[in-house]
Structure 1
Amino acid sequence: MHSNRKFLLDTFCERLGYIFKRSELLQEALTHRSHTGVNNERLEFLGDAILNCAIAGLVFRSFPDVPEGHLSRLRASFVNQRALSELALSLQMDKIIRLGEGELKSGGSHRSSILADAFEAILGAIYLDSDYTHAEIVVKRLYLPLIEKVDLNGHGKDPKTLLQEFLQSQKLALPEYTVVTTAGKAHKQWFTVECLIPMFNIRTIGEGTSRRGAEQEAAKLAYQEVCFYH
């Protein structure tokens, strides 16, 4: 194995908090189907089930007074593609995932779906390398800091909804969203959106690969400002 890749894999395992006994399982978990050889799709299938079970247990124990419906929404928010891809990026998996040439050139190492699947595949690999308990320990280690920050009143709601509800509760006008710029080719555009709240003289800028994503980012920043202002 190339020394630089070995260093990156060792560093990744340190961040993850788990050292693989069978390095081939780690390699498989990090191999997208666009790459040659065995890919991570079967491990992703296994890891998905492990993650859902581990998160269900974690939110059940962490929120003893929360009803089933809210627990389901909490779990869903922790295992959706965006949440998993953000965790993968925090572990710098984009630097070690193996992709085919086409995916590599098109920016596949930062594609949410690819990162989310690889993260789940890692959990499947840990399960096969040891057992469910070790996989659950890794999930707890990564998720407990997120669990501790949960606001049960607002969790599960997107930033635009939270901002809208806050302004409506104050009997204020809703924010105005304006697309400032759109860059890139049709299949790979980048949007910059402004969120304006005249009453508080708040103007925030959000960016993303979709207009909705950029609006959510701008709303998130505006919500933080308006709550501080209020």
Structure 2
Amino acid sequence: MKRLGVVIDPETLRLALTHRSYAYEHGGIPTNERLEFLGDSVLGFAVTDHLYKNYPDLPEGDLAKRRSAVVSTRALAAIARSLGLGEFILLGQGEILTNGKDKSSILADTMESLIGATFLTHGIEVATEMVMTLILPLLHDVDVLGAGTDWKTAIQEIAAAEKMGAIEYRVTGSGPDHARTYVALLHIGGTAYGEGSGPSKKEAEQVSAAISWKMLRPRDDSAKAK
């Protein structure tokens, strides 16, 4: 696959792109779930090896946080979107109608299956090189590393530390059922912060939390400096 920078044999590539919804509608053909399982392990190894060798002064907890941030569903889905991967995934009609090609869970899982396919085709060295090409920019992204894997948890930590009050996500939806868009606006202690959108309530809330976290980070940083 040219966008990945590697060549995967057609049969393995098709398997890597076959979501279970498509397989179910086509007589129960094999899905990409086994490749996803393999790719998850290759991804974890590649990132762990890089972090261990390149950050010798970081304690185990910080290494784990960095790894979690860049192998999270959110991070992998962002990579998949940058590659335009969604248009190539084989989906069942139900997922197509609900915009499955842009669902973070499906995108992230497919990225892992492609990593697994690369490993099967070329071995660990090429698979590791591909992983690092995709992941390295994220390892230098302060926003990605700052909030770890869950923006909503990061917001809860800031709100609790600053005693800001109750957290509330006000979510609205619009559009037809098969292509619905949700908008979430985060309120903390009655004050409105970041607004985010997504194809599901959960993703809209995560985007809202991410935007809010960036707005609140200076306050959090100054509190830590005291």
Scaled by the length of structure 1, the TM-score of the pair is 0.75
More moved, 54-63 vs 91-100: 54-63
Equivalent residue for 2:115? 123
Flag the 1:81–1:168 CA change in 2: closer, same or farther, 3 A: closer
Match of 1:219 among 180, 186, 209: 209
Amino acid at match of 2:6: Y
Match in the other structure for 1:192: 183
- Tell me the residue number matched to 1:173: 164
Contact 2:159 2:165 in 1 (8 A): yes
2:15 maps to 1:24: no
Which runs of 5 or more residues in structure 2 are unaligned?
none
1:99 aligned to which of 70, 91, 95: 91
Contact 1:177 1:193 in 2 (8 A): no
Query: The residue matched to 1:154 in structure 2 has which SS?
Result: helix
SS of 2:56 mapped into structure 1: coil
1:102 to partner: Cα distance: 3.0
Q: What is aligned with 1:138?
A: 130
| Structure 1 spans left out of the alignment, 5+ residues | 1-12
How far apart are the structure 1 equivalents of 2:135 and 2:181? Answer: 30
Structure number with the higher helix fraction is 2
The number of aligned residues is 215
- Residue 204, structure 1, aligned to residue 194, structure 2: yes
Alpha-carbon separation, structure 1, partners of 2:115 and 2:36: 8
Answer yes or no: is the 8 Å Cα contact 1:179–1:191 preserved in 2: no
Closer, same or farther in 2 for the Cα pair 1:43/1:60, shift >3 Å?
A: same
Correspondence 1:75 to 2:63: no
* CA apart distance, 1:96: 0.5
Change (3 A) 1:223 1:118: closer
Residue 166 of structure 1 and its aligned partner are, at CA, apart by 4.9
Structure 2 CA distance for partners of 1:28 and 1:180, relative to 1, 3 Å: closer
> Deviation string for 1:172-224 (max 9, x for gaps)?
7347635152446899865423235799x864322245555434322322333
Q: Residue type matched to 2:133 in 1?
A: R
CA RMSD of aligned residues (A): 3.4
Residues in 1 aligned to 2:144 and 2:110: alpha-carbon distance in whole angstroms: 29
Runs of 4+ residues over 6 Å off in structure 1: 184-189
Question: Retained in 1: the 8 A contact 2:65–2:145?
Answer: no
After superposition, the Cα gap between the structure-2 partners of 1:206 and 1:174, relative to the gap in structure 1 and judged at 3 Å, is farther
Q: Is the 8 A contact 2:180 2:199 kept in 1?
A: yes
Which is higher, the Rg of structure 1 or of structure 2? 1
Q: How far apart in 2 are the matches of 1:152 and 1:125?
A: 26
Counterpart contact for 1:202–1:226, Cα < 8 Å:
no
Distance 1:57 1:87, change over 3 A: same
Q: Aligned partners of 1:113, 1:131: CA distance in 2, in Å?
A: 26
Q: Separation in 1 of the partners of 2:163 and 2:37?
A: 47
The Cα shift of 1:124 comes to 1.3
Q: Is the 8 A contact 2:168 2:188 kept in 1?
A: no
Which amino acid is the alignment partner of residue 15 of structure 2? Answer: E
Q: Deviations over 1:65-113 (max 9, x none)?
A: 1222332232223223222222222211101011223332232222333
Q: What displacement does 1:144 show?
A: 0.7
Offset of residue 126 of structure 1 = 1.0
